[in-house]
Structure 1
Amino acid sequence: MATRTHAHAEENKRIARRVPEEIATKRNLDLTDEVFAEDAVEHAPYGDSRGVAALRADFNRFLAAFPDFSATVEDIVAEGDTVAMRVTLRGTQEGEFMEIEPTGREFEIQNMVFTRIEGGKIAERWLQPDIHGLFRQLGAVESPVA
């Protein structure tokens, strides 16, 4: 039983890390259909996205704004149907992002991601990126500390 549980957790980790490593960093957006359930939901600070088509559109918009984007999985833990990851996000803003005109500035922030796997596909993800850190590094907001 423990071996089967361990194998299940390892498979769930493999599925979850495909998003930052293969879809986002390697820009293999065709994998979106393979990795996500058709009715998958992504919860993010800037709103929820529902369905594979919406998720693919989100990735396209984000990668257009940050064409050199990369995501590095720093830590990953799985239990049951849930995978938790700490991911370092990096990029340079070359396009509009959330109504912020291109700045040409680089960023590096942390993102916490919880992923729920169902039937071998991602059913739901909760994203908690350091949005304030991103906006501060892009020059959209000032740091409260001098």
Structure 2
Amino acid sequence: MQFTHILLPVDGSKFSNDATDYAVYLAKLCHARITAVCCYEWNSNLYEVTQSAIDELKDKLRKNAEQIIKDTEEKLRSNGIDFESKTVSGPPGTVLTKMIKTKEFDLVVMGSHGHSDIAGLFLGSVTHKVLNTIYCPVLIVP
């Protein structure tokens, strides 16, 4: 099977970094393009917090996601990979599902777990959500 466009969700975790390495390997092998995406989500369940503190937290989440994407871009660029990157606000499972449903990608490469404290028995919660909504192959990198 020839892959031409790989979706690579990243979150800065060890699993995500390992998935990036594998996506680079596959992209070189298949001359594929990679779309790297880092999602950040604001959880509004904080009560009695000032708006300025909320704005500061949101800004830190966005900046962290942007740094993760910059690090990923550097790795892709240094390996000569054709790529695009996105930093997206929203729940990762929902954002990735919407991206996958566009049928723009013929492979998803992602880590088995991420930074989330909430995980399934064998797979992380975002990985589990993606696996339940896909049409294309998904490579889970441990």
User: Does TM, scored on the shorter chain, surpass 0.5?
Assistant: no
Q: What is the TM-score when the length of structure 2 is the normalising length?
A: 0.25
Larger helix proportion of the pair: 2
Q: What is the TM-score when the length of structure 1 is the normalising length?
A: 0.24
Q: Which has the higher contact order (CA 8 A, sep 6+)?
A: 2
Larger strand proportion of the pair: 1
